[in-house]
Chains A and B, each alone.
Chain A
Amino acid sequence: MKNIVHIEALSKTYDSGHQALSRVDLDIHQGEILALLGPNGAGKTTLISIICGIVSASTGTVSVAGHDNVRDYRKTRDLIGLVPQELTLGAFDTVWNTVNFSRGLFGKPPDTAYLEQLLKDLSLWDKRDSELRELSGGMKRRVLIAKALSHEPRVLFLDEPTAGVDVELRQDMWKMVRKLNDSGVTIILTTHYIEEAEEIADRVGIISQGKLLLVEDKQNLMQKLGKKQLLIELREMVEAIPAALAEYNLEISRDGGHLVYTYDTQSERTGITSLLQDLNDNGMSLKDLKSSQSSLEEIFVNLVSTK
């Protein structure tokens, strides 16, 4: 798979001494939707800001479509659109003027037809002559998206796009994100809601305290999520698992009093009934059974708290 963004050993320490990022390596595939998941203050916004050129990195490099984002900043920024987290908009500009301004800033000649379609897609066309201060929060969010898309970027960064957004706009936004993605735009979004990452992303990156803990296909994560564990407490300790039970891939606890069976809840047969039968046949009597499921939330919390 082709990478559109390549990040190498990226670190950032602010003047205040706060280290926001610590040696982050990340490849973003062309055409994917990547969700960066992490608690507040994890470094998500710093990472995006460095890629977009708003913050300079302390060490490390970023390249976009093969161009260095410092040396060839015109080429990289040309490809990138950014929807910031805060609703930062002028007060007295009209919607129409502000999207035209954005397009011009990125060096693109005026294109009325394109911008008209863009505003229509975002349900902003009726508001094109409204001043920005008159708009609701949700509408302002839409304007920010329109501004980010005004120069037809190939990579779109959405920094916490659903913060303070109602259900309807969220659905609209995901629809738009998918549509953009279908047209080939690579999308990177940050969020601290796990369900969001699950709903929209192809891959999920987990970031905490400036470190990228893992980046994985959502499918893989979902598989981990779909796994359940059965904890079997035995009446008598065992030293080894009988050969007859080898097919179950049981794990044995250190004291020999517990067996752990991992199974897939989504498969047709979980194998629990036959396992219990076989245990009985092998003369192992059970004291207790306990099943547990590791959720993405749990994986996430584990990752974030242990580091």
Chain B
Amino acid sequence: MINYQAIRVIYKYEMLRAWNTLLQTIASPVISTSLYFVVFGAAIGSRIEQIEGVPYGVFIVPGLVMLSLLTQSIANASFGIFFPKFTGTIYEVMSAPISFFEIVVGYVGAAATKSLVLGVIILITANLFVDLNIAHPFVMALFLVLTCVSFALFGFIIGLWATNFEKLQLIPMLVITPLVFLGGSFYSVSMLPPAWQTITLFNPVLYLISGFRWSFFEVADVSVGVSLAMICMFLLACLALVWWMFKTGYRLKQ
């Protein structure tokens, strides 16, 4: 038996939260994406040649989408579970006839949905600046969904782990943002010196961006199969971690 009502209300509650901060939810990514296009696409991009046959302004679109998707998925999901913990309202979820699985589906599902919508908005915004052609729409959609879900799950873990606001920001700021910038969001790995190319291969975000970029231009730093495998592995790792956290009542139950 699954408590569908509970999943429904948690999902709805989290979506409503985004709706109430609509300006922040939608306007800020649209504005920042536009800024990236102005700076990287128009100002700097005009001096950069095409990368592997793709104009620079177009080339950075998948990286830009991933940048927002990763940070927003994490921010949404981590805040969604951290805040009730912080205010104490989590007592209600804890005392309700609801399983950990249902809690995760509710919170992570809502966070993933929000970043998915965000990704689509950014793609539409990008389309206003450059001429975008998507070679493999289904693969792109698959990458989009998998990324949203995995990183929302990752954010949920951070939200459970964090005991204060500083910790909540720590991993997104110190780990995720550098990894995204160094993972080939705005360049092709082949442009780096050989030593750095090897180092970059240890950056998991590279596989995400590479695979996602392939679905647009059929241009990739690593093969798309490897990319898919990597994101699935990350998803499974997060699932295992969440399962363990709930099994032990980590940071929730004394």
Q: Which of B6, B9, B16, B94 contacts A53 (CB 8 A)?
A: B94
B9 lies within 8 A of A100 (CB): yes
B96 lies within 8 A of A77 (CB): yes
Q: Does A78 contact B (CB under 8 A)?
A: yes
B95 lies within 8 A of A54 (CB): yes
Q: Tell me what chain B mostly uses at the interface: helix, strand, loop, or mixed.
A: helix
Given known A-B contacts A56-B249, A107-B6, A92 and B20 have beta carbons under 8 A apart: yes
A106 lies within 8 A of B88 (CB): no
A75 lies within 8 A of B97 (CB): yes
Q: Does A141 contact B (CB under 8 A)?
A: no
A108 lies within 8 A of B89 (CB): no
Most A CB within 10 A of own CB, among B5, B9, B92 = B92
Q: Which of A14, A54, A74, A76 contacts B3 (CB 8 A)?
A: A74
A53 lies within 8 A of B95 (CB): yes
Count of chain B residues with a beta carbon within 8 Å of a chain A beta carbon = 28
In angstroms, how far is the closest chain A Cβ from the Cβ of B8? 6
Q: List the 9 closest pairs (A to B, CB-CB), nearest first.
A: A104-B9, A88-B88, A74-B97, A77-B97, A105-B96, A52-B95, A107-B3, A104-B5, A54-B94
In angstroms, how far is the closest chain B Cβ from the Cβ of A70? 11
Q: Could you say which interface size class chain A belongs to?
A: 35 or more
Q: List residues of A whose CB falls within 8 A of some B CB.
A: 14-15, 52-56, 73-78, 80, 82, 84, 86, 88-93, 97, 100-109, 147
Given known A-B contacts A55-B253, A74-B1, A106 and B97 have beta carbons under 8 A apart: yes
Q: Report how far A93 CA is from B98 CA in the complex, Å.
A: 21
Q: Report how far A74 CA is from B4 CA in the complex, Å.
A: 13
11 contacts between A and B (CB under 8 A): A52-B94, A52-B95, A55-B253, A56-B253, A74-B3, A75-B97, A84-B91, A90-B84, A104-B8, A107-B3, A107-B4
Q: Does B93 contact A (CB under 8 A)?
A: yes
- Interface flags for B143-175 (1: CB within 8 Å of A; 0: not) read 000000000000000000000000000000000
Q: What B residues does A14 contact at CB under 8 A?
A: 254
Q: Write the chain A residue with the least CB distance to B1.
A: A74
- Interface flags for B238-251 (1: CB within 8 Å of A; 0: not) read 00000000000100
Q: Write the chain B residue with the least CB distance to A53.
A: B95
A77 lies within 8 A of B95 (CB): yes
Q: What A residues does B98 contact at CB under 8 A?
A: 105, 107
Q: What A residues does B8 contact at CB under 8 A?
A: 104
B89 lies within 8 A of A90 (CB): yes
Q: Write the chain B residue with the least CB distance to A52.
A: B95
Q: Write the chain A residue with the least CB distance to B252.
A: A54
Most A CB within 10 A of own CB, among B4, B16, B84, B254 = B254
Q: Write the chain B residue with the least CB distance to A110.
A: B5
Q: What B residues does A90 contact at CB under 8 A?
A: 84, 87, 89
Q: Report how far A77 CA is from B5 CA in the complex, Å.
A: 15
A104 lies within 8 A of B249 (CB): no
